[in-house]
Amino acid sequence: MSLFETELVTLDGEKTTLAQWQGEVLLVVNVASKCGLTPQYEQLENLQKKLHSLGLTILGFPCNAFLEQEPGSEAEIKTFCSTTYGVSFPMFSKIEVNGPQRHSLYAKLIAARPDTVAPENSGFAAKMASKGRAPKEYGDVLWNFEKFIIDRDGQVVGRFSPDMEPNDPRLLECIGKALGH
C-alpha cells in the first residue's frame, strides 16, 4: 500500500487518505498543545501561508504520548490551534507515533527515514536520554514536533528532530528541493 493510501481521520472525525494531497509536498508533524515546543505552530502556520501556493501542505497529527502534552479532545485541540495560532493547515485526530499502537502512517514514515537531522550542537536527544526519555526502538519519534517531508511522488525525503525549527535553513532547503525550487 502506498503512502497516499494511508487511512486518516481528521479532527472533525472525517475519514480520508493522503491521496487528496498527492502531487503536493507534505510536511508531517506530530504536535502537542502543552509542550515547550508548541510555539512552533506559529512558524508552521507561517510556512503554510508562504509556501502553500507553491505546493506545500503541512499536516498536523496530535499525539499525547510524550508526558501527556496533548490531553484535550479533538474539539479542544481544534479550538486551541485556531484561536491561539490561527492554524489553517489540516489537522487530524490523535494518533500514536511509537510502540505497538503506532499509526500506519508513522510506521511507513519511520521505515523510510529512521534517522533524524538535528540542529548543530542540538543536544536535544542527549537531554531527553538523560531524563529517561530516550526512544525505545531505533527509529522511534523522539518527541513532539518531529518533522517528516514527503515529496510530490510520495517519497519521504527528510526527517528533522523536534528542536529543528520550521524556519531552519536545512529544513527549508529540503522543502525547496522537494518543491523543485
Q: Which residues are catalytic?
A: 35
| Contact of 35 with 72, CB cutoff 8 Å | no
Residue 120 backbone class (left: φ over 0; alpha: ψ -120 to 50; beta: rest) = beta
| Contact of 160 with 146, CB cutoff 8 Å | yes
Q: How far apart are CA 79 and CA 73, in angstroms?
A: 10
DSSP at 53 = G
CA 52 to chain CA centroid, nearest Å: 16
